Amino acid sequence: MGIRKNQKLLSNDERQRFVAAVKQMKAVGLYDQYVQWHLDAMGNMTTDPNFAHQGPAFLPWHREYILLFEQDLQAADKSLGNDGSIGLPYWDWTSETAIDPTTNRLWADDFLGPDGDSSDGQRVQTGPFATNTTPGSENWILAIHDPMDNNPVDFLQRSFGQDPQAPTLSTADQVSNILDLKIYDSSPWDSNVSGTKSFRNALEGWVTVKPAGQQPGMHNRVHVWVGGSMLPMSSPNDPIFFLNHCNVDRIWASWQVLHSAVDQYPPKNGQAQVGHNRDDVMVPWDGRNDPRPGQNGQLPRVTPGDLLNVAPLGYSYDALIGS
């Protein structure tokens, strides 16, 4: 059983192994497949279905996504001569809010690296994910881009707290308030469900959450607060994406423990949009050929209903909220 830890509790060795494994995945083309999957799942957000967002499957889709990522991370760790025992860490953005790497080691040069440089196109200048295109010294070159971006850049960008919609991150009180919601999701099963009728919509971040309502909130707010490469559909280009979603998954796991007696996933039999009902096979985990380098089989067939309990999935969290 793997235990997913708060990133601030990782040892120096665990931090180094996580970074090395992520970069190994990037080097062999695995990491970019995750960026592509995310892009593909979002569609065009206007006429095509969004299989991963703005609906009940937002949480199970990303649970499967980061679970596969974690398994590939562990394989990469093994390929580097370690025992593959690393887990995906989470960023508790309600408490680790400082942007100074000396105060918040999340952004230190031996881990995720710092904010972008406002005098240089918000480019991240240092740390393991600072892009270098010099032949022979290539590092973290963004290769998968939003197809609607006519002029994408190939370097990692961040812009902490600069967007007027998200100068701060969501708070512990706000997380506590959404954990009180007793309904997982409701009709119309999209980004417009009332915040009182959808834990999923509140956690995804489409509704204001008391106290001091904010929209975007929670998960969406992290994307907007980090800014830069986290803003478009290709947001997994920034590895902080995975630490955010690990925390989102932890909040969902906490809700599942607190509300085990309620319907854990209500939309069934086509009530919600395609891919978002309890027994719908999620895209791309529908048995299609596995496009990942080194994989010759098929991807698993996974439904939201398969993912409603984390224990059988082989991981747990070092700390849930409110239990």
Q: How far is the CB of 1 from other proteins (least distance, A)?
A: 32
Is residue 216 at the binding interface for other proteins, with CB under 8 A as the rule?
Answer: yes
* Near other proteins by CB under 8 A: residue from 42, 66, 124, 307: 42
If the CB atoms of residues 77 and 238 are measured against other proteins, the closer one turns out to be: 238
Tell me which stretch binds other proteins (CB under 8 A): 3-11, 60-68, 86-94, 228-236. Answer: 228-236
Instruction: By CB under 8 A, tell whether 245 contacts other proteins.
Output: no
By the rule CB under 8 A, 134 interacts with other proteins: no
To other proteins, the closest distance from the beta carbon of 223 in angstroms equals 4
Contact between 104 and other proteins per CB under 8 A = no
For the CB of residue 222, give the shortest distance to other proteins in the complex, in Å: 9
Q: Given the structure tokens 């980090």, which residue do they identify?
A: 226
| Stretch in the footprint of other proteins (CB under 8 A) among 65-73, 104-112, 227-235, 304-312 | 227-235
CA 300 and chain centroid, separation: 20
The answer to whether 140 and 130 are in contact (CB under 8 A) is: yes
CB of 208 to other proteins, least distance (A): 11
The verdict on 36 binding other proteins (CB under 8 A) reads no
CB-CB contact of 233 with 38 (8 Å): yes
232 binds other proteins (CB under 8 A): yes
- The residues, any chain, with a CB within 8 Å of residue 220's CB and separated by 6 or more, are 204, 205, 206
What CA–CA distances, in Å, run from 117 to 157, 228, 300? 8, 11, 41
Among 40, 100, 120, 180, binds other proteins (CB under 8 A): 120
| Alpha-carbon gap, residue 5 to 316, rounded angstroms | 9
Give the three-state DSSP class for 301.
strand
Of positions 220, 237, 273, 303, contacts other proteins by CB under 8 A: 220
Tell me if 206 contacts other proteins by CB under 8 A.
Answer: yes
Choice between 15 and 221, CB closer to other proteins: 221
Q: Which stretch binds other proteins (CB under 8 A): 23-31, 63-71, 211-219, 275-283?
A: 211-219
Residue the block writes with tokens 């680790």:
96
Question: Is residue 231 part of the contact set for other proteins (CB under 8 A)?
Answer: yes
What's the closest the beta carbon of residue 185 comes to other proteins, in angstroms?
A: 16
Provide the 3-class DSSP secondary structure of residue 122: coil
Half-sphere exposure of 27 (CA within 13 A, CB side): 14
For 248, which DSSP code? H
Q: Which residues pair with 139 in a beta bridge?
A: 132
Q: Please answer whether residues 157 and 227 qualify as being in contact, where contact means their C-beta atoms are separated by less than 8 angstroms.
A: yes
Q: How many residues does the chain have?
A: 323
Assigned token pair, 262:
């309620």
Interface with other proteins, residue 298, by CB under 8 A: no
- Residues ≥6 apart with Cβ < 8 Å to 135: none
CB of 122 to other proteins, least distance (A): 5
Q: Work out whether 151 is an interface residue with other proteins (CB under 8 A).
A: yes
Residue at token pair 């630490």: 243
Burial class (CB in 10 A: 0-12, 13-18, 19+), 117: middle
Least separation, in Å, of the C-beta of 315 and other proteins?
Answer: 26
Task: State the residues that interact with other proteins by CB under 8 A.
Answer: 42-46, 53, 116, 120-123, 146, 148-153, 157, 159, 163, 165, 190-192, 205-206, 215-216, 219-220, 223-224, 228, 231-233, 235
